[in-house]
Chains A and B, each alone.
Chain A
Amino acid sequence: MLDRLINEIPRFFQYYTILLLWQAMATTLGMAVIGCTMGFAFGFVLVCLRQLTGWVFLPVRIVTIVYVDLFRRVPFLVILYLVLFFIQAVNPNASLLSIAVIGICILSIAYTAEIIRAGFESVPRQQIEAATVMNFNRLQILRSVIIPQAWPVILPPAFAYMVGFIKDTALVSQIGVLELTSAGKILNNRGFSALLVFGTILVLYFVLSYPLSRLGAFAEARLAPPRNR
């Protein structure tokens, strides 16, 4: 068994394999970056919409709450299949990669919105009252008081989420996007040892994700005091 492994290694680490893995890793990273960026942008908008008061905005508030709560109760795999078949029904020519990215964004918006909301809610009510009695409007309160005080609370779980998110993208291998996991399946099908292939892929995921989780731990330690400058 071990002999076979050792025999395979030179054949495995050849130009072609390395190129495939490199491209796959770039795709994985790219999807994670797009997903997180979109997640934070739209998640932030969603949370801000949720802060609107008055009955006029009740439907808006309900939509944001329902979106965030429902999509966090459906497995990513199911979301992916839904997006796949829905988009293929609308536009049969849509690329698999774009479908995967849309699925990723739907998921990440829901989860990041929840992280951002928890951060916003960690700001004491009295801080908001103090601003209110000085005639700050809601936007000014958000900008001057809530966001500066919330981001140290948001950042550590946000990093943890991003780390998790790189791993979540592994599931898009199921709808046929060529990223790290599918590269592993391809190489395994070519006859390379599963131990060698999936072991390598595991290490590559680790290489992507570990620095980010260290950064998250560092951010958490740095931001532990309640204040930020």
Chain B
Amino acid sequence: MNYTFQFGVALAQLPVLLSAALVTLELAFLAFWGGALIGVAGATAKTYGGPALRRLASAYVVFFTNTPALLQIYFIYYGLPEFGVLIPAFIAVVLGLMLNAGAYLTEIMRAGFISVRRQEVEAAETLGMSLFQMVRYVIVPHIAKTIYPSLANFFILLVLGSSMGAIFSVNELTGTAIDISTENYRWLEMFLLVGVIYIALTFIASVSLALIGRFAFRVKAKVF
């Protein structure tokens, strides 16, 4: 192959890419926390709700985990305007990722809910804990410890998934790389650099999440 790599051109864009990486993290954070809220609500509905609520939550999970997130965003971004609701691309992407994440997080949270053992609750009752104390000191720590590794893992997937923003011209990392490449034509160099930034980004995220897990929940999460 006679292609001359010119990494200098790509590296010159590093500051721009790094600030775009912040947008990537922002997308991932918003989708994660929004999804987590949906997840708590969904898992509560699925575990403790009445039959109708349970069925609704299940339908949501089944539908959103069996269709591509990309299509869900398409549906929101191009479909909502037909109802007369015009939303900016960034919001559509966040909303789509959030709804998609919510479905997966419902399942993760539910696994945590189910893992609370009756004996533990009974032990807390015999100690004379109030309901609030029980939730605060026994149930939540237990759930947190059980689901933390899955949550950490899912956050990494969201960082990667946020690259779909590029398709809707959101200027996160991948989108910015596409924009710059269409001007300087150094596609390969730009995307190699972007790949390295994603690796660094997710690696830093994995390490920090593992450390947080170790100190906050005494979870031994593996970085690799």
Contact = CB atoms under 8 A, between A and B. Distances in A.
- The answer to whether A and B interact is yes
Interface of A: 1, 65, 69-70, 73-79, 81-82, 85-86, 89-90, 163, 167-168, 170-171, 173-174, 181, 184-185, 188, 193-195, 198-199, 201-202, 205-206, 209-210, 213
A100 to B, nearest CB: 14
B106 interface: no
A75 B198 contact: yes
Contacts of B7: none
Contacts of B79: 194-195, 198-199
A196 to B, nearest CB: 9
A103 B82 CA distance: 35
29 contacts: A1-B83, A73-B198, A74-B195, A74-B199, A75-B160, A75-B162, A75-B163, A78-B177, A78-B191, A79-B195, A81-B178, A85-B187, A163-B65, A167-B66, A167-B70, A174-B167, A181-B70, A184-B74, A193-B82, A194-B78, A198-B75, A198-B79, A199-B79, A201-B74, A202-B75, A205-B67, A209-B67, A213-B62, A213-B66
B33 interface: no
Interface string B51-62: 000000000001
Given A181-B71, A209-B66, A89 B195 contact: no
A89 B1 contact: yes
A77 B71 contact: no
Contacts of B75: 194-195, 198-199, 202
Nearest to A193: B82
B174 interface: yes
A195 B224 contact: no
A89 to B, nearest CB: 4
A204 to B, nearest CB: 9
B198 A198 contact: no
A211 B163 CA distance: 28
Nearest to B83: A1
Interface centre among B160, B174, B177 (most CB of A within 10 A): B160
Contact of B202 (A73, A89, A188, A193): A73
What are the 6 closest A-B residue pairs judged by CB atoms, nearest first? A194-B78, A75-B163, A167-B68, A170-B68, A89-B3, A85-B187
B72 interface: yes
A78 B194 contact: yes
A86 B192 CA distance: 10
B188 interface: yes
Interface centre among A69, A74, A174 (most CB of B within 10 A): A74
A35 to B, nearest CB: 14
Contacts of B72: 202
B64 to A, nearest CB: 10
Given A75-B161, A201-B74, A205-B66, 18 more contacts: A65-B224, A75-B174, A75-B198, A77-B164, A78-B177, A78-B194, A78-B198, A81-B191, A82-B191, A85-B187, A85-B191, A89-B188, A163-B65, A167-B68, A167-B70, A170-B71, A171-B164, A184-B74
B5 to A, nearest CB: 10
A184 B71 contact: yes
Contacts of A73: 156, 160, 198-199, 202-203
A205 B74 contact: no
Interface string B67-95: 11111101100110111100000000000
A195 B82 contact: yes
